[in-house]
Structure 1
Amino acid sequence: MNIQISNIAKLPTKYGKFKIKAYKQENQEHLAIMSEDFETLDSPYIRIHSECLTGDTLGSLKCDCQNQLDLSLKFISLNGGLVIYHRQEGRNIGLVNKVNAYALQDLGRNTIEANLELGFKEDERDYSIVKYIFEDLGIKKLKLITNNPKKIEYVESLGINIVERIPAITKSNKYNEGYISTKKEQMGHMF
């Protein structure tokens, strides 16, 4: 695997002070956002956050992504740890296809049905960069901030000890109730 990595830089934010390190794998660039005390933590809190331009940047109410990212950055700023910003937009179908999936959702499909209708699996994400980041940062055990059972399975498959799972529960709204319901009922997310 050909990975290009950056140096570590400081990143003061509205959530607190962090350090960041970037990882480039083929045409995708991912980010490790670490608390200042990250290196001293035995089992850091970790969130693997999948990119969502419409939610994270534009504040879309169709999903809970921005709320989960905000929750995680605030939590890690206070308690120490790492957010991996996993740049695989739309469960790795890309932005154009994600917008096409949104259009199908506007016609009544749920998030899974839309992806399948576009010719994709319900989730196309590849987590190999996460393994590389864990190895690069020396992570052997962690406290995982997630609702997604597939992320738990993946981390466990790496032989990493999940000491605790912390749910990333945020407030729903009338625009994302169906999305959250689909994640819970069809994808097994734990809310």
Structure 2
Amino acid sequence: MESRIKQRVVIPTRYGDVEFCTFSNLSSNTEDFALIFNHADSEVCPKVRVHSECITGDLFASKKCDCGDQLNEALELFSSTSGVIFYLRQEGRGIGLYNKIHAYQLQVEGMDTYEANQALNFDHDSRSYIAAVEMLNALGMHKIKLYTNNPDKVNQLHNHNINVVDICKTGCYLKPENIAYLQAKVVKTNHKLSIGEVI
């Protein structure tokens, strides 16, 4: 069944008036949503960030990852210009919050972030971006400028007929606590971070 827009409402936030958009019939069966800044959905080629939920980083500013920093970058940029954030509820690269906390303990014991997920009998990255494709289609967005360092995200969107006409790297938010995490992303999943930036 085709995904459709369910509700749109403008909410005043610290980033200005932001339109929150919900959807019906998403294949993810989770409450994914879009944040639309400054009528970006009316643009021919809007700026887009497809962001997977990271409660520890997005909400509590964890230093173990760069997720919250990337989200804040998009919020600041899009609120001052325009853009759309698609927020996907797939915590811990798709394994859920409790399992992610368990994976953190395995990382303390010496595993990297991907090895920890696999030790818990998950794929190293279980995320799907199909829900983002469905939301993009529901909003009539077929040509986008994507803000990401993740080549798998680009490939999944391309493979479902989203025309990513430009890929803009997000910042490299290096901290002593996340060096190993960023290095693993570069080495194991080819994230577009300069090696020099994370060593």
Shorter-chain TM-score tier: over 0.9
State whether residues 41 and 81 of structure 1, in contact with CA within 8 Å, keep that contact through their aligned partners in structure 2.
no
Question: 88, 91, 111: which is aligned to 1:89?
Answer: 91
Match of residue 140 from structure 1 = 142
Q: 2:106 and 2:50 mapped to 1: Cα distance?
A: 27
Cα deviation, residue 11, structure 1: 2.1
Cα deviation, residue 63, structure 1: 0.3
The one-letter code sitting in structure 2 at the alignment partner of 1:56 is D
Matched, 1:19 2:23: no
Q: 1:172 and 1:189 mapped to 2: Cα distance?
A: 14
Cα deviation, residue 178, structure 1: 0.6
Q: 2:110 and 2:81 mapped to 1: Cα distance?
A: 40
State whether residues 92 and 125 of structure 1, in contact with CA within 8 Å, keep that contact through their aligned partners in structure 2.
yes
Q: 2:126 and 2:96 mapped to 1: Cα distance?
A: 10
| 1:62-96 CA distance string (max 9 Å, x none) | 00011000001111112211000111000110111
Cα deviation, residue 2, structure 1: 7.8
In the superposition, the TM-score normalised over structure 1's length comes to 0.94
Cα deviation, residue 31, structure 1: 1.4
What is the root-mean-square deviation of aligned Cα atoms in Å?
Answer: 1.6
Q: 1:174 and 1:123 mapped to 2: Cα distance?
A: 23
Match of residue 119 from structure 1 = 121
Cα deviation, residue 159, structure 1: 1.9
Match of residue 153 from structure 1 = 155
The one-letter code sitting in structure 2 at the alignment partner of 1:155 is L
Match of residue 78 from structure 1 = 80
Question: 174, 177, 182: which is aligned to 2:176?
Answer: 174
- The count of corresponding residues between Structure 1 and Structure 2 is 191
Question: 39, 46, 59: which is aligned to 1:44?
Answer: 46
**Consecutive unaligned residues in structure 2, runs of 5 or more:** 194-199
Structure 1 vs Structure 2: percent identity of aligned residues? 37
Cα deviation, residue 17, structure 1: 2.1
| 1:22-69 CA distance string (max 9 Å, x none) | 236465111100013223211000000000001101111000011000
Q: 2:190 and 2:18 mapped to 1: Cα distance?
A: 32
- State the secondary structure of the residue aligned to 1:48: strand
Q: 2:98 and 2:151 mapped to 1: Cα distance?
A: 27
State whether residues 56 and 66 of structure 1, in contact with CA within 8 Å, keep that contact through their aligned partners in structure 2.
yes
In the superposition, the TM-score normalised over structure 2's length comes to 0.90
Question: 176, 192, 195: which is aligned to 1:190?
Answer: 192
| 1:109-161 CA distance string (max 9 Å, x none) | 10000001110101111222112101100011010000000011011112222
Match of residue 31 from structure 1 = 33
State whether residues 143 and 163 of structure 1, in contact with CA within 8 Å, keep that contact through their aligned partners in structure 2.
yes
Question: 49, 53, 56: which is aligned to 1:54?
Answer: 56
